[in-house]
Amino acid sequence: MTVRRFDNKVALVTGAGQGIGFAIAERFAAEGARVIMADIREDLLSEAAASLRAAGGDVSEHQLDVSAAEQVDAVIAEIAASCGRIDILANNAGIAKEEPFVEIEDQQWRRMIDVNLNGMFYVAQRVSRLMVQQGGGAIINMASTNGLVGEAGYAHYNASKGGVVLLTKTMAIELGKSGIRVNAVCPGYIQTPLSQSIDSPETVERYIEQFIPLRRTGTPQDVAGVFAFLASEDATFITGECIVVDGGQLSF
């Protein structure tokens, strides 16, 4: 039987055009939510939304660069006008790139922070204002195990995700009185188009052998299930947490 925990709920998913974001949107749609998909790449977004509609999902889409505050303002205003509310925010949009610390250029540093941290802030703040008015909601921010421990070659990414972790905790403290729960998900090694563009199959195999007790990489669906749990009534007394989804990697 299909569980439908999100009937009559409106869920906004950023970075929904592919990878983890698409899996999150797919999970919410399958469980009955009205899903608004947002992504910077309109081509990926249109294809992804069409596939969920073909499967029976109640889906709409908005092209969005989360690092542009004025775009975020416009999209949230459109959603508020058309849907009247946002019950769930899956604040997922992000980028990653491997570069040695001493070689990171200023522009590259700014872009990473703009998308992964500033964009997270813009979307969460605008959505939370709507949630305060409506009397509650659930926000799940996409962090990373790289926001909890360091990894060579990812200084700008690590810094951005570390910021997301503490942003999440502060939001939980301030917004709890308004009935808004805020949590973060910290994936480890998940096989997505982004990760596959960075690492070779040989690198992935070595990484699994050395660092992942469950002896596999994660899937987007592994992460989507945690987003769905944190958005559901099963998690009504959970806020300010950073849930690690890493196959045991941080157990070492």
Catalytic site positions? 157
Q: In whole angstroms, how far apart are CA 232 and each of 87, 137, 139, 175, 229?
A: 10, 10, 11, 18, 5
Cα distance between residue 57 and residue 160, in whole Å:
33
CB atoms inside a 10 Å sphere around CB 163: 18
| Helix, strand, or coil (residue 184) | strand
Tokens of 37: 């998909």
Total residues belonging to the chain: 252
* Adjacent-strand bridge partners of 90: 13, 140
Q: Residue 73 half-sphere exposure, CB side, CA atoms within 13 Å? A: 3
The DSSP secondary-structure symbol of 40 reads S
d(CA 252, CA 233): 32
Reduced to 3 states (helix: H, G, I; strand: E, B; else coil), residue 136 is coil
User: Using an 8 Å Cβ cutoff, are 242 and 144 in contact?
Assistant: no
Where is 129: in which H helix or E strand?
Answer: helix 119-134
